[in-house]
Structure 1
Amino acid sequence: MAGDQPAPAVVVVGDVATDVVVLLTGTPAPGSDRSASIATRGGGAGANVAAHLAALGTTVLLAGCIGDDAAGTALAGELAAAGVRLALRTVPGGATGTIVSLVEPDGQRSMLADRGANLALRPADVPPPTPNAHLHLSGYTLLDPGPRDAGLAALAAAVAAGCTVSLDPASTGPLTAYGVERWVSDTAAATLLMPNAEEARLLTGCADLGDAARTLAGVHPVVVVSLGAEGALWAAGDELVHAPAHPATVVDTTGAGDAFVAGVLGAWVVAGGRPDPATALAAGLARAATVVGRAGAR
């Protein structure tokens, strides 16, 4: 980073990828054809959060890996143009990650992931923590053996430096494979945990999301649970705050969780790590509402 630039307020560690968004129409037609609208856009959970933070005016640095291909060059250029500072290592012979998002007419989607160069992330790829900066760690970084050491090292270094750390568990499938007890142990030092509803239930075994949020708040100082159309919860100590979702016509839910995370983190940074819960939730929900109304994650 140039010496005359202010230190980033947030360092994001996570994936950079090309999103292939497939908006499906009609009903499933196994063995036959189904019409769709297909577009290619920038994606990757880490890159999405970083791009939204930059759009909100937060100074942000993204650490990750790209392939030595046209896709990686294009994504780096897009992120830089959006105001994201980059610490992206190009992996020789590697391919930039690609995510195919299949979006049903009701806006729900399933993901097909080829993480490519993202799996080559090493501890040295993450810059040393900057005093007073916040670290946001995408859970995908921990859920594969390749980048796991880098993610755990970044978490430990940030905590040792006195930085606040946020973490999203990312996805229930690989989280189950990782092991819930192992996850809770490995990530207990995070200041702010940001699961969605199903991740919160998986991590606690609680069917009631209020109970799940309170249980997780026994491990982390602050827990924010995104509830999709039902809004979001904030839990800290004995406090439990619910905020309703902002009105939106849902076209595609791809990246809504990343946008929500960025909105909350923007409020977190402005408040010096002590935001008003209702204000932080409203900021996250507002950002998510801007994403679900169109195709693509950012």
Structure 2
Amino acid sequence: MIVSIGDVMIDAYFQVPDHRNPRTDTHGRVELAAGGSAANFAVWVARHGRMSGLIGCVGDDFLGRGLAAELEAEGVCPYLTFDPDPECGTGRVGVIVAANGERDMICDRRANTRLSPEDIPEEVVAGAKWLHVSGYAFLEKSPAKAVRRGIDIAREAGVPVSIDPAAYSFIQALGRQAFLELCNGATVILPNLDEGRAMTGLGRPEDVAACLLDHFPVVGLKLGGDGCLGMARQWTGMAGMTGAGARAGEKGPQATVRFAAAPTQVVDTTGAGDAFDAGFVIEYSRGAGLAASLARGNEMGARAVSKMGAR
């Protein structure tokens, strides 16, 4: 089973016209959908035929129960804690989607902040094929401790770990070194370029990935409309793979693979990184190698942005 730890949310999408009427009504469109970075990842994994589990915390309310039922319907095993505090409730996100598909998010994390080390089922993590962590869980002390416990259990059991840093603003506020310490023990780091820059202080994608390679055996750097860039300390890609948009590195202590973005019509970029992460982990966890894993992540990320919503 591929297990993820992190946020479970209800998303409210606001498609806002360029012109709004101040102090009165503006006609637009509002959609509600299940979300949360870790939950999105888990659903993408399940939809592609792999056993998938999710560890998280929701409110003991109609939203939390509904999200748990939705995960089960998608084929995900939900290892969820239901927080009973009525003043807390299930996490929610307001997503403001611009005409070009880019989005701004207003996050109200609520029950996600209550995840604790005691909520991590040791036998589930130790028995997993792979553990994936959403970096949003690092935002507060309690879930950060829970994630660290999960990573420590995984390392002890020989389970590979991937981390999506999730929020460059948090990395900047915490500091590069402190954030790297939180991620200690990860096998694969999967940042976007903003997050990678925040983690390294560097600008060029190649420099960012090379610097991250000093801390993690495998780097998958998401470049949005410019595709993705991967590096690994040892060559694990398919020798000679140079498919459309790809450049394969030489065999040796460091391998580099880059793919252009898959052609698609961008509707909404919400959840694209989660879909990329799922594609990468699906392939890498079965030994497909760096190039094939990046290609699958690229393809699934393109699929995610072609429609409204994170899944």
When normalised by structure 2's length, the TM-score is: 0.89
CA offsets per residue over residues 58-112 of structure 1, 9 Å max, x none?
A: 1111011110111111111111000000100100023000001101101111110
Residues 264 and 283 in structure 1, CA contact (< 8 A), matched pair in contact too: yes
1:280 is aligned to 2:293: yes
Distance 1:69 1:260 in 2: 31
SS of the aligned residue for 1:118 comes to helix
Distance 1:36 1:134 in 2: 41
CA offsets per residue over residues 244-269 of structure 1, 9 Å max, x none?
A: 11111111101111011011111112
Partner of 1:5: none
Partner of 1:261: 277
SS of the aligned residue for 2:75 comes to coil
Shift of 1:124: 1.7
Shift of 1:218: 1.1
Residues 19 and 41 in structure 1, CA contact (< 8 A), matched pair in contact too: yes
Shift of 1:132: 5.5
Residues 17 and 28 in structure 2, CA contact (< 8 A), matched pair in contact too: yes
Distance 1:107 1:131 in 2: 39
1:86 is aligned to 2:52: no
Structure 1 counterpart of 2:140, one-letter code: D
Match of residue 118, structure 1, among 112, 121, 134: 112
Residues 26 and 34 in structure 1, CA contact (< 8 A), matched pair in contact too: no
Residues 172 and 199 in structure 1, CA contact (< 8 A), matched pair in contact too: yes
Residues 272 and 310 in structure 2, CA contact (< 8 A), matched pair in contact too: yes
Q: 1:248 to 1:88 in 2, by over 3 A?
A: same
Distance 1:291 1:36 in 2: 22
CA offsets per residue over residues 34-70 of structure 1, 9 Å max, x none?
A: 4421100000011000000000111111011110111
1:186 is aligned to 2:182: yes
Partner of 1:249: 265
Runs of 4+ displaced beyond 6 Å: none
Structure 1 counterpart of 2:160, one-letter code: T
Residues 42 and 52 in structure 2, CA contact (< 8 A), matched pair in contact too: yes
Match of residue 17, structure 2, among 14, 17, 25: 25
Q: 1:222 to 1:29 in 2, by over 3 A?
A: farther
Residues 1-298 of structure 1: pairs in structure 2 closer than 5 A: 8=1, 10-27=2-19, 34-93=26-85, 94-128=88-122, 129-131=125-127, 133-237=129-233, 238-271=254-287, 275-298=288-311
Residues 55 and 83 in structure 1, CA contact (< 8 A), matched pair in contact too: yes
Residues 232 and 290 in structure 2, CA contact (< 8 A), matched pair in contact too: no
Shift of 1:32: 6.2
Gaps of 5+ in 1: 1-7
Residue correspondences, number: 287
Distance 2:184 2:82 in 1: 31
Distance 1:211 1:30 in 2: 45
Distance 1:170 1:211 in 2: 20
Shift of 1:205: 1.1
Structure 2 counterpart of 1:229, one-letter code: G
Distance 1:151 1:71 in 2: 24
SS of the aligned residue for 2:126 comes to coil
Distance 2:128 2:33 in 1: 33
Gaps of 5+ in 2: 234-253
Residues 143 and 178 in structure 1, CA contact (< 8 A), matched pair in contact too: no
Shift of 1:289: 1.3
Structure 1 counterpart of 2:275, one-letter code: A
Structure 1 counterpart of 2:225, one-letter code: A
Partner of 1:4: none
Residues 66 and 91 in structure 1, CA contact (< 8 A), matched pair in contact too: yes
Distance 1:208 1:30 in 2: 41
Q: 1:278 to 1:32 in 2, by over 3 A?
A: farther
Q: Percent identity?
A: 37
Structure 1 counterpart of 2:264, one-letter code: A
Distance 1:165 1:143 in 2: 19
Residues 117 and 142 in structure 2, CA contact (< 8 A), matched pair in contact too: no
Shift of 1:146: 2.9
Q: 1:24 to 1:222 in 2, by over 3 A?
A: same
